[in-house]
Amino acid sequence: MGYARRYLSASRESELSALRELLTSGALLSGISALIHALQRERGASTLWLCAEASLTAEALTARRQEADQALAAMIDLLPTPQRRADGSRFYNRAALALHALSGLSTLRAQVRQRQLPHAEAMQQFSEIIRHLLHLIVEAADTASDPQMSRALLALFSFMQGKELAGQERALGAAGFAAGTFSRTAQRQLIALLEGQDRSFATFVQFADDDSLRAWRAVAEAGQEIEKLRRIACGGMTTRGVEAQRWFRLLSERLDAMKQIEERLEQRILIVCRRCIERIDQAEDDDWPTAHVGLGYSLYVAAAPWLEEGDGALDAGGVAPQLSRSLLTMLEQQAQRLQAQSDELAAMRVALTQRKEIERAKALLMQHHQCDEEQAWHTLRKMAMNQNKRVWEIAQALVAVSSAFSLTQKS
């Protein structure tokens, strides 16, 4: 029993040390969060600028950059001084990657200012910087010590991930409305962003506290005007009369409301942290840890070989504390797999549709020109080369003309 008590004491001291460190880094969480929000705003303004949106002035773009610079300087001041420590490797690695990504910000801005980048590439570069900062905020907050702490952390991470996807939706939609049209690719990207938001916020709802949930319900449902614009963007409808600035303003108001919930979730982590410290301080020598008991819900984790039983469902009171980092990694990997599968299926559907159009066009040529299949294919290829188009585009046009001609004859 003497040895057991020594290990129990060491466990509590280690947990207290991690929790107290988290309390002191509360300002760092807010600083990283503020920088992410500022970069999301700058990304949106940069998209409008690259699309030559007349209503956006150079001064407005500069203002967004200054906001991000101020947030970056504040975050750097809050970063801890690097020092050798047994548990610092992961955080320092994430910090190094995030700062390295941020070092390319000046080059990116210069290219945006000179309009030397397509808006899609600029958006991707901003999003990559934000992705590194999201990982950094997880490492800064993850004490892996208590189920309630894991709940609060996963609620924050899931919400911030959903908010980031909403920010990408704002930028992509602004580009489409500014251009006056949404390509098939842009439509698929918008749909994927909406689906990703649904998944992220569904995870958030599962782990969030009651007060945060009530705050979220007030902004969860997008207004009728946003939904109308989403249908226009995703459905390939005409964008005539829709101003990119109106879309940008509506989505910005929604994102600003999300930022307030994000700040509430950050404070929730610190509240849970203080409660954990009080619990440990008040624990008696005979208060031994009890077996973990689930709280009546589960989280599905795909491709988890360490789950030897069941169907991959992890029953936990929040999340088993030792698995919080592993779970976050697996959630990310699962999201990447789902996105890759979705992209692959979408590509397969497009390829199948194109193949059907080509087969129908070949059948029309064979019927009207009394040629074989190989001759019909060479005819389509020659027409595509002459018009500098792809074969399926020529096939689609032929099928459309044939349909229209048939309708004319019937009438």
Give the Cα-Cα-Cα angle 71, 77, 80 (nearest 5 degrees). Answer: 125
* Crossing angle of helices 119-141 and 89-103, rounded to 10°: 160
Tell me the average pLDDT of the chain. Answer: 78
Percent of the chain with pLDDT over 70: 74
pLDDT for 369: 83
pLDDT for 292: 42
How far apart, in whole angstroms, are the C-alpha atoms of residue 376 and residue 371? 7
SS3 313: strand
Terminal Cα-to-Cα distance of the chain (whole angstroms): 96
* Nearest CA-CA partner of 79 in 98, 64, 65, 66: 98
pLDDT for 64: 93
Task: Out of 76-85, 129-138, 165-174, 329-338, pick the least confident.
Answer: 329-338
Give the Cα-Cα-Cα angle 219, 221, 223 (nearest 5 degrees). Answer: 95
pLDDT for 123: 92
SS3 314: strand
pLDDT for 344: 61
Q: What is the mean pLDDT of residues 224-229?
A: 86
140 within 8 A of 95, measured Cβ to Cβ: no
The answer on pLDDT for 306 being more than 50 is no
23 within 8 A of 245, measured Cβ to Cβ: no
pLDDT for 295: 38
How many helical (H) and strand (E) elements, i.e. helices and strands, does the chain have? 14, 2
Write down the residue that tokens 């970069």 correspond to: 39
How far apart, in whole angstroms, are the C-alpha atoms of residue 340 and residue 196? 13
Residue 298's H or E segment, with its range, is: strand 298-300
Task: Out of 22-36, 160-174, 176-190, 339-353, pick the least confident.
Answer: 339-353
Q: What is the mean pLDDT of residues 286-309?
A: 43
How far apart, in whole angstroms, are the C-alpha atoms of residue 280 and residue 267? 20
Instruction: Give the number of other CB atoms < 10 A from CB of residue 97.
Output: 15
Q: What is the mean pLDDT of residues 64-90?
A: 84
pLDDT for 241: 61
How far apart, in whole angstroms, are the C-alpha atoms of residue 30 and residue 137? 9
